[in-house]
Amino acid sequence: MPDVEGSERSLPNIVITGTPGTGKSTHAQLLVDASPVPLRHLNVSEIAKEKKLYENYDEEWQTYIVDEDKVLDELEPLTDAGGLVIDWHTCDVFPERWVDLVVVLRCDHTLLWDRLEKRGYSLKKIQENNESEIMQTVLDDAKESYAEEIVVELRSDSTEDLESNVDRIVSWIQNWRRDRGFSDQP
């Protein structure tokens, strides 16, 4: 049964985004593991490295400069079937038609600082990401790029937050499927 947008997908596509260190990959993998329906975790940073979907490597920031057009070309064929959990530090590059839910993870900036230090980030990179979190840059980008009703902001400070968030997203998936006439079974 097609959804309101006319899509034939029986599974939603979910973007999990946030400043580096907010727990995107952990949330995405736990969601895939907890979901009653099959989901596929796509870590865009890893895909970009593996498939060389970048322009170059920025030594100063110690990161690859991703070619967003190449990333979109790589992911587009996968989006039609649904069931994707797309994990990346930005979301506004993904076309609205691909995305059913955008989860923006937020973290206390002092916790974020500690997490990024443990990763071995440079002071400049820690400061830049911490400022981005304080200024809620990723959340604002999500709100400007997608319909208000599909953007949700979730705290990611503790293990309890993580578990609660995954449970909440699983419930959202079940409701999304039920609203479109699908059962919890794939």
181 labelled binding-site residue: no
Q: Is 51 annotated as a binding residue?
A: no
82 is in an annotated binding site: no
* Rounded distance between C-alpha atoms, residue 164 and residue 158, angstroms: 10
Q: Which helix (H) or strand (E) holds 85?
A: strand 84-87
**Six-digit token string for 11:** 């599974």
Residue whose entry in the numeric block shows the structure tokens 């970009």: 48
- 24 appears as a binding residue in the annotation: yes
Q: Which two tokens stand for residue 162?
A: 């993580």
Chain-centre distance for alpha carbon 4: 23
Residue 7 assigned ligand-binding role: no
Q: Any known ligand binding at 119?
A: yes
Are the CB atoms for 76 and 44 separated by under 8 Å? no
Q: Give the residue from 141, 166, 161 showing the smallest Cα distance to 14.
A: 166
- Report the amino acid identity of residue 16: I
Residue stretches of the annotated binding site for ATP? 21, 23-26, 119
Residue stretches of the annotated binding site? 21, 23-26, 119
